[in-house]
């Protein structure tokens, strides 16, 4: 695991690389928020997520930590933003197979039609020097992954409402 340079929320707007992914769900902000903070559910709806677990007790709020493995990358995270149904953000503290020195991911909730939720999922990073040529590849793969993951989350939330 490589130790990452931890960042604050401002980094999400100033990082060298910023990738935005928009999601719209047929679910309330409360339902979408509940899925984001339910670490175990990430293996159901987030593409290629092998594990996602809290590493702090209690879990929930700024300062909480978790570990996630997605597509062969293992990332240890510390939450830097936590406002239910408004803001959810973390900075990476360590990463296996990292091509970046810093990473912040931030979700902001936007107004949508009644019974629907829109989010902006921002991935902000500072690539290592050798990773810089990979920008287009990272952007295209992440776009596909988030599109599939958001569709799977929408389906997951629909199944939860019917059970």
- What are the residue boundaries of the structural domains of the chain, listed by start? 2-162
pLDDT in single tens digits along all 163 residues of the chain: 899 999 999 999 999 999 999 999 999 999 999 999 999 999 999 999 999 999 999 999 999 999 999 988 999 999 999 999 999 999 999 999 888 999 999 999 997 889 999 999 999 999 999 989 999 999 999 999 999 999 999 999 999 888 7
Place of tokens 């629909």: 158
SS3 45: helix
Q: Are 1 and 95 in contact (CB under 8 A)?
A: yes
- On the CB side of 121, CA atoms within 13 Å amount to 15
Q: Are 43 and 49 in contact (CB under 8 A)?
A: yes
pLDDT, position 98: 84
Q: Are 93 and 3 in contact (CB under 8 A)?
A: yes
Using alpha carbons, select from 90, 96, 46, 40 the residue that is nearest to residue 64: 90
Place of tokens 């928020």: 33
Q: Are 67 and 53 in contact (CB under 8 A)?
A: yes
Q: Are 68 and 51 in contact (CB under 8 A)?
A: yes
Q: Report whether CATH 3.30.530.20 matches the domain 2-162.
A: yes
Both tokens of 82, joined, read: 């936590």
pLDDT, position 153: 98
Question: pTM higher than 0.85, yes or no?
Answer: yes
**To 10 degrees, what angle do helices 135-162 and 29-37 make?**
110
């Amino acid at each position: 695991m490589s130790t990452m340079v931890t960042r604050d929320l401002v980094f999400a707007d100033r990082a060298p690389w910023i990738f935005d992914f928009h999601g719209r769900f047929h679910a309330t902000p409360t339902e979408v928020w509940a899925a984001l903070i339910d670490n175990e559910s990430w293996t159901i709806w987030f593409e290629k997520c092998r594990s996602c677990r809290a590493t702090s007790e209690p879990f929930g709020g700024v300062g909480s930590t978790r570990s996630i493995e997605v597509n062969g990358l293992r990332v240890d995270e510390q939450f830097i933003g936590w406002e239910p149904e408004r803001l959810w953000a973390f900075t990476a503290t360590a990463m296996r197979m990292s091509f970046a020195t810093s990473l912040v991911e931030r979700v902001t909730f936007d107004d949508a039609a009644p019974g629907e939720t829109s989010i902006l999922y921002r991935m902000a990073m500072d690539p290592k020097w050798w990773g810089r040529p990979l920008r287009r590849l990272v952007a295209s793969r992440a776009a596909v992954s988030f599109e599939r993951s958001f569709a799977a989350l929408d389906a997951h939330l629909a199944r939860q409402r019917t059970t």
